[in-house]
Amino acid sequence: MNDMVHIGCEELITAADEAQMEHERGVREMEARERADAWDALEATHGPLYGPLGWWYSEYNKYGWKD
């Protein structure tokens, strides 16, 4: 029976579903902007925290046993 009836995803999405997806996308974008702003504030205070090879501090942590 399912082979005979072809229903696309667009036909199953209601206006409420579409509004919910749009809201969730907006929330994700807002959270991403907040994280980017927080990261920029940290780097403005402490200098670059992430270099071309990864976290600067992670290199330092490898040698903690030498202290």
Q: Which stretches of 2-14 are DSSP H helices? A: 9-12
6 pLDDT higher than 70:
no
What was the pLDDT predicted at 22? 97
What was the pLDDT predicted at 4? 63
57 pLDDT higher than 60:
no
Task: Find how far residue 46's CA is from the centre of its chain.
Answer: 23
**If you search the block for the tokens 């969730």, which residue do you land on?**
24
Give pLDDT tens digits for 10-43. 678 889 999 999 999 999 999 999 999 998 898 8
Pairing of strands 50-51, 54-55: antiparallel
Q: Which stretches of the chain are DSSP H helices? A: 9-12, 15-46, 56-61
**Position with higher pLDDT, 19 vs 2:** 19
Domains of the chain by residue range: 9-66
Side-chain-side CA neighbours of 35 within 13 Å: the count stands at 6
What was the pLDDT predicted at 2? 57
